[in-house]
A and B are shown apart, each in its own frame.
Chain A
Amino acid sequence: MFSYCTDPAALSGLTWLSCYLTTGKHMALYWSFGTVLTLLAITAPTALALGFAGASAARSRIRPLSWLGKFYIAIVRGVPDIAFFLFFVIALDQGIEYLRHKVKCPDWSEPIRQGNDFVVCSAAKMPLSTASQWQHDVYGFALAVVTFAIVFGAFAANVLFGAMRAVPHAQIETAEAYGMSPRQAYWRVLVPQMWIYALPGLGNLWMVLIKATPLLFLLGISDIVYWARELGGAKTARFTDYPHPDWRMWYFLALLVFYLGFTKLSEMVLERLTRRLSHGQATAGGEALRKAAT
């Protein structure tokens, strides 16, 4: 990186550290923080949308739809989430390949499950075996995002379902007394008011989502945990210009500090958001804001 880094063996102290921390592999580590943030940025809205759909379905007056919504919320309870992560990644992958197999190779006669193997025709492989490395990476990441969204969507659905029930019933009755249809009352009265009730739960969920991101490692993504393990391990002079003993402890300490800082930052942002959303609401927080204003 720097011009003085040409002969690392001759360096010492801070200059050595500055060269060591800017090697190509360390750059990959810093980029993997970007992977984590990308995952959060995509998963959070997707999970919220899925959760909204799930909660709306659970509230629906059509019985099968309401059962479907309640089943979705209930299925993620009671089972360790890591099991879901491990399960969904394989199951989604096999499901996609199975569907592609049915479409692309209709005249394939052999069974797909042969003993311990899952065999589909080569045209149905996902991604194709001719695809380049980055396509494999993107596909793996997309599977991870979908898995996260499904699991966290169920949590969000549970929170939103509770929030929808927390909106005072009189509000809906008033809306109906003004002649709104159930659909109008839902979109114009219930949905705008439910967010303040949902915010504590959603804020909690966001914290949990942040803390779930290292599980990307279990889904086979080269994320920060992967790189911390890789870079921290003891290196001898034969394989690298920067030999060092086992430093994995320090790498994981750095990750720990990163997550603590991120959590603290989120807490502060959520605090401000709560104040904003409390404006004009019939809650204790909203009442306090009203009193302060007059």
Chain B
Amino acid sequence: MSCWQTIQDYGLRALGHGERLLPRSDFTLCQQFTLIGSGLMWNIYFGVLALLAGFILANALAVAKGANHPLLRKPAEWFIFIFRGSPLFIQFFFGYFLFLSLKGVSPVFTPFTSAALGALVVLFFNTAAYSAEIFYGALRSVPKGDIEAADAYGFSGWTRFRRIVWPTAMRLAWPAYTNEAIFLFHATVLVFFSGFPAWQQKGDALYYASYFADKTFNPFIPYPILAGYFILLTLLIIGVFGLINRHLNRHLPQDSRPRLRFRPNLIR
């Protein structure tokens, strides 16, 4: 069987298209590359959607945490503490079983017991909490002079926030937020190892990598393939976020622009 045939059979396997049975014996390198790459689509799906939705919620949470009124501040503080203070792995388990119980109450929650939606919700809340902490710190470190200048020009209230405070905070937060995005993509591999089931063996990249490692009892091929894919993904994220960073700092002279630095990623 040629490699092109394998790609046609298994290229979209993670979404449920193509060959139904996974390879069972005589594993080729091509099969491992194709299937693990196919699973990577789930990681990208979870990462991109959670990041986009999380960005909006994180901004709201950061502003709420910085608010003076305790009714706004306290809930935001608790939300951030709960999601940053507990392991994502336990959050996945808890989320899955919570949705499973809610399913008994109302059929509205049935789709949430699937990984595609339920895990996405957990990841969305998790990344929102982590990013909110970053944005909160950035909002607090907006230079005093910027705000005074805005006041002097007659900006106030919402306009001042939208035109002066928020863009400056984003500029300050962006390097840390890039690392958060990288964390998030790495955290997506946990999904199918927590409660969420992989229906019809439609799993993510790590799911297939561990499938091959279990079947061949040889971890030295699938995991390095997975690592290679993730290094490429990480470089892609750095590239995209670097472009946004350049756009955010386009008013600064060339050499004083802050450069993005790739920091080590940690588990949450």
Residues of A within 8 A of B (CB): 73, 76-83, 86-87, 90-91, 94, 113, 116-118, 154-155, 158, 204-205, 208, 210-215, 217-218, 225, 228-229, 232, 246, 248-249, 252-253, 255-256, 259-260, 263-264
Contact = CB atoms under 8 A, between A and B. Distances in A.
B218 A118 contact: yes
B262 interface: yes
Contact of B213 (A90, A256, A259): A90
B215 A116 contact: yes
B230 interface: yes
A260 B86 contact: yes
A80 B206 contact: yes
Nearest to B93: A252
A264 to B, nearest CB: 7
B267 A79 contact: no
Contacts of A263: 85-86
Contacts of A211: 86-88, 267-268
B265 interface: yes
B234 interface: yes
B226 A78 contact: no
Residue with the greatest number of chain A CB neighbours at <10 A, chosen from B81, B94, B215, B231? B94
Contact of A77 (B27, B190, B264): B264
Nearest to B82: A260
Contacts of A249: 94, 97-98, 100-101
Given A80-B265, A81-B266, A246-B97, 20 more contacts: A78-B262, A79-B227, A79-B231, A80-B206, A82-B206, A83-B209, A116-B218, A118-B217, A205-B266, A211-B86, A211-B88, A211-B268, A214-B90, A217-B89, A232-B97, A249-B94, A256-B82, A259-B86, A263-B85, A263-B86
Contacts of B186: 79-81
Nearest to B230: A79
26 contacts: A73-B264, A76-B264, A77-B265, A78-B262, A79-B186, A80-B186, A81-B265, A82-B189, A83-B206, A86-B206, A86-B209, A86-B213, A155-B264, A155-B266, A204-B266, A208-B268, A211-B87, A211-B267, A225-B93, A228-B93, A249-B94, A252-B90, A252-B97, A255-B94, A259-B85, A260-B82
Contact of B89 (A76, A86, A225): A225
Given A80-B186, A83-B189, A211-B86, A253 B94 contact: yes
B94 A252 contact: yes
Given A78-B234, A208-B267, A263-B85, A91 B220 contact: yes
Contacts, number: 130
A99 B25 CA distance: 28
A32 B258 CA distance: 47
Contacts of B161: none
Interface string B198-228: 0000000010011001011111100100110
Contact of A86 (B98, B216, B223, B266): B223
Q: What's the dominant secondary structure at chain B's contact region?
A: helix
A246 B93 CA distance: 13
Interface string B121-154: 0000000000000000000000000000000000
Interface of B: 25, 27, 81-82, 85-91, 93-94, 97-98, 100-101, 186-187, 189-190, 193, 206, 209-210, 213, 215-220, 223, 226-227, 230-231, 234, 262, 264-268
Nearest to A159: B264
A73 B101 CA distance: 43
Contacts of A210: 87
Contacts of B226: 79-80, 83
A82 B210 CA distance: 11
Nearest to A224: B90
Residue with the greatest number of chain A CB neighbours at <10 A, chosen from B100, B227, B231, B267? B267
A84 to B, nearest CB: 8
B237 to A, nearest CB: 11
A180 to B, nearest CB: 32
Nearest to A205: B266
Contacts of A232: 97
Contacts of A86: 206, 209-210, 213, 219, 223
Contacts of A78: 227, 230-231, 234, 262, 265
A214 B89 contact: yes
Given A81-B265, A82-B267, A155-B264, A264 B85 contact: yes
